[in-house]
């Protein structure tokens, strides 16, 4: 029987699901569990309730326990290590008793744009509207009541880690989405902290989580944490934890894109491209963030708020039609059929253009989103062009941001690794993405496991004396199969024409959002 004391659990709270995986020391997935959830727009804020956060964790872990029992016949009493990851950025202010003082703001909220722009100008460093410090400064500027009671500031991953371990800390990659990091000292930039204090007029800022590196000790599961995660009482306290990380960091680990010069693209509800820099960028770019790897190396990040949600909505509609026609089929089969149909579409989607914005988008400066579909009269409006336009829409905003990085800064990307469920249908989205960013895109055989798997790898790495890059190369990815798609000239040119039409559609998108919302 498998010895669970030598196995590792990674849990990631993503935008549409919470997923947990159990791996052995070689990274092989032994069991998994998940729980589906959706964010809600309440009072103008994209959020998840704190009750849903706890319930989702419990349901996800319970599903993992069942799968462990079914697949390897073991009782989940203890593990060799655990780790918590979640969607990066956002805002959770806590009082001295670690109680939340305001609704959780996800990365999807753009209401701190003015505050972010002011901080960017102050620091000479890019501060996106979704960063924790931008939300705090916006609350200070607005005179919100909870600010004076705030003792600690955290993200979702840090909050859940605190609930389970009692330790208030963050992996450096996660911390870099809260406040700028000094990559020399591997902690928050002290000069900018002083500047923020002076500008905000607050002598005592909320405490930021302790910054830890990959491999550091992140604490242990407490008795109360064990009961919260597993109300049945089977799970014992004392399981060691690695530092909590964001989904950007786990995406880098899951694609073995941690070394300088490597890069990856993580696609889900949002999509972001990461390039681990060999040298600092020359100037501040509005569409490019600066974060770090779990080891603390600087990363240029192009983050787009919108990716697959609108595609999922249309797949659901096609599924309803199939059921109405008496041809119900599994969701995976629906995705495969619809995605594969896009390969027969025209390179520029036949004049069909989709705006997939459910929420605002910083890169294109759209405050609020309204999904839209337009098509050119006289050209073929069919399933192939429609689905190709849907898939192009998932990557077109990323292309706009990546062009700024590669053309504007001259960053050379030899290859990008991609992961996320959108790449499960082989040879479709990978091809479109490679042509969109004019860079070879590889998908590893492990790509479908996503960030929860990357978090489990970080849990397995905790306490290792080996460099993380070498650990991944030699113990996890040695001999791993990958499928590489090269940019195709006709597809790249067609995507370019589609991008031009998409940019023109954004003027109407901005007007629609103002009129309809």
Dihedral sign for Cα 144, 142, 368, 493, please. negative
What pLDDT sits at residue 365?
85
Domain at 257-450+461-517: CATH code: 3.30.420.40
**185: exposed, middle or buried (Cβ count in 10 Å: 0-12, 13-18, 19+):** exposed
Q: Tell me the C-alpha to C-alpha distance, in Å, between residue 125 and each of 117, 162, 279, 362, 453.
A: 10, 29, 16, 16, 32
First to last CA, the chain: 57
Please give the Cα distance from 92 to 134 (Å, whole number): 12
Model's pTM, two decimal places? Answer: 0.84
Q: Which of 163, 164, 183 is nearest to 173 (CA)?
A: 183
What pLDDT sits at residue 139?
95
Question: b/e per residue, 245-261, with b = 16+ CB within 10 A?
Answer: bbbbbbbbbbbbbbbee
Q: Which of 248, 293, 244, 295 is nearest to 273 (CA)?
A: 248
pLDDT digits (tens, 9 = 90+) for 314-359: 999 999 999 999 998 999 999 999 999 999 999 999 999 999 998 8
Q: Please name the residues in contact with 129: beta carbons below 8 A apart, sequence gap of 6 or more.
A: 109, 110, 111, 112, 113, 115, 116, 362
DSSP state of 481: -
pLDDT digits (tens, 9 = 90+) for 394-411: 999 999 999 988 888 888
What are phi and psi for residue 10, nearest 5 degrees?
A: -120, 135
Q: Which residues pair with 182 in a beta bridge?
A: 187
Please give the Cα distance from 368 to 45 (Å, whole number): 12
Return the domain boundaries, the chain: 4-243, 257-450+461-517
4-243 is classed in which CATH architecture? 2-Layer Sandwich (3.30)
What pLDDT sits at residue 448?
54
What pLDDT sits at residue 1?
66
Residue recorded with tokens 């979704």 = 130
What pLDDT sits at residue 516?
65
pLDDT along the chain (517 residues), means of 10: 92 94 95 94 92 97 97 96 95 97 90 93 93 96 93 97 98 97 96 93 84 98 98 97 95 90 87 90 87 95 92 96 93 95 98 93 86 94 98 96 87 84 90 94 73 96 94 89 92 97 89 69
Q: Are strands 271-276 and 298-304 parallel, antiparallel or unpaired?
A: antiparallel
Please give the Cα distance from 110 to 107 (Å, whole number): 8
What pLDDT sits at residue 154?
96
Element (H, E) at 497: helix 489-516
Residue recorded with tokens 């049945």 = 232
Question: b/e per residue, 418-444, with b = 16+ CB within 10 A?
Answer: bbbbbbebeebbbbbbbbbbbbbbbbb
Q: How does DSSP assign 138-199, residue by residue? A: HHHHHT-GGGGG--EEE-HHHHHHHHHHS--EEEHHHHTTTS-EETTTTEE-HHHHHHHHHH
Q: Does the fold of domain 257-450+461-517 match that of domain 4-243?
A: yes
What pLDDT sits at residue 279?
87
What pLDDT sits at residue 480?
79
- The answer to whether 10 and 21 are in contact (CB under 8 A) is yes
- The answer to whether 257 and 274 are in contact (CB under 8 A) is yes
Alpha carbon 232 to chain centroid, angstroms: 31
């Amino acid at each position: 029987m498998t010895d669970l004391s030598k196995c590792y659990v990674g849990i990631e709270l993503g935008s549409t699901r919470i997923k947990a995986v159990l791996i052995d020391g070689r990274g092989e997935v032994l069991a998994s569990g998940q729980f589906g959830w959706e964010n809600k727009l309440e009072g103008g804020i994209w959020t998840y309730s704190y009750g849903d956060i706890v319930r989702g964790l419990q349901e996800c872990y319970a599903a993992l326990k069942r799968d462990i029992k079914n697949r390897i016949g073991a009782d989940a009493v203890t593990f060799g290590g655990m780790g918590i990851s979640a969607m990066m950025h956002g805002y959770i202010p806590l009082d001295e008793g670690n109680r939340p003082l305001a609704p959780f703001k996800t990365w999807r909220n753009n209401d701190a744009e003015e505050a972010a722009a002011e901080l960017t100008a102050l620091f000479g460093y890019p501060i996106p509207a979704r960063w924790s410090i931008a939300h705090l400064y916006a609350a200070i500027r607005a005179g919100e009541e909870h600010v004076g009671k705030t003792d600690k500031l955290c993200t979702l991953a840090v909050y859940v880690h605190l609930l389970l371990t009692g330790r208030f800390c963050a992996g450096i990659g996660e911390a870099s989405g809260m406040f700028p990091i000094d990559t020399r000292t591997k902690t928050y930039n002290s000069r900018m902290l002083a500047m923020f204090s002076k500008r905000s007029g607050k002598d005592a800022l909320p405490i930021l989580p302790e910054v830890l590196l990959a491999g550091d000790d992140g604490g242990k599961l407490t008795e109360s944490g064990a009961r919260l995660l597993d109300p049945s009482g089977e799970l014992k306290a004392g399981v060691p934890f690695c530092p909590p990380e964001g989904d950007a960091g786990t995406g880098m680990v899951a694609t073995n894109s941690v070394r300088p010069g490597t890069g990856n693209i993580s696609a889900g509800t949002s999509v972001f491209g990461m390039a681990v820099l060999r040298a600092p960028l020359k100037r501040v770019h509005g569409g490019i963030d600066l974060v770090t790897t779990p080891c603390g190396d600087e990363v240029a990040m192009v983050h787009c708020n919108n990716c697959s949600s609108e595609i999922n909505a249309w797949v659901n509609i096609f599924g309803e039609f199939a059921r109405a026609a008496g041809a119900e089929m599994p969701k995976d089969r629906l995705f495969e059929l619809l995605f594969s149909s896009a390969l027969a579409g025209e390179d520029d989607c036949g004049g069909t253009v989709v705006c997939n914005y459910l929420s605002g988008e910083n890169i294109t400066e759209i405050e609020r989103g309204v999904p839209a579909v337009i098509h050119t009269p006289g050209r073929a409006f069919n399933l192939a062009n429609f689905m190709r336009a849907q898939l192009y829409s998932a990557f077109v905003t990323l292309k706009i941001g990546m062009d700024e990085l590669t053309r504007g800064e001259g960053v050379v990307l030899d290859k990008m690794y991609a992961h996320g469920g959108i790449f499960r249908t082989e040879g479709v989205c990978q091809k479109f993405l490679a042509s969109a960013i004019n860079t070879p895109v590889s998908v590893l055989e492990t790509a479908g496991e996503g960030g929860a798997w990357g978090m489990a790898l970080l849990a397995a790495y905790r306490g290792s004396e080996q460099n993380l890059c070498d650990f991944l190369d030699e113990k996890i990815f040695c001999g791993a199969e990958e499928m590489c798609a090269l940019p195709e000239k006709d597809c790249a040119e067609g995507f370019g024409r589609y991008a031009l039409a998409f940019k023109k559609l954004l003027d109407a998108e901005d007007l629609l959002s103002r009129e309809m919302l």
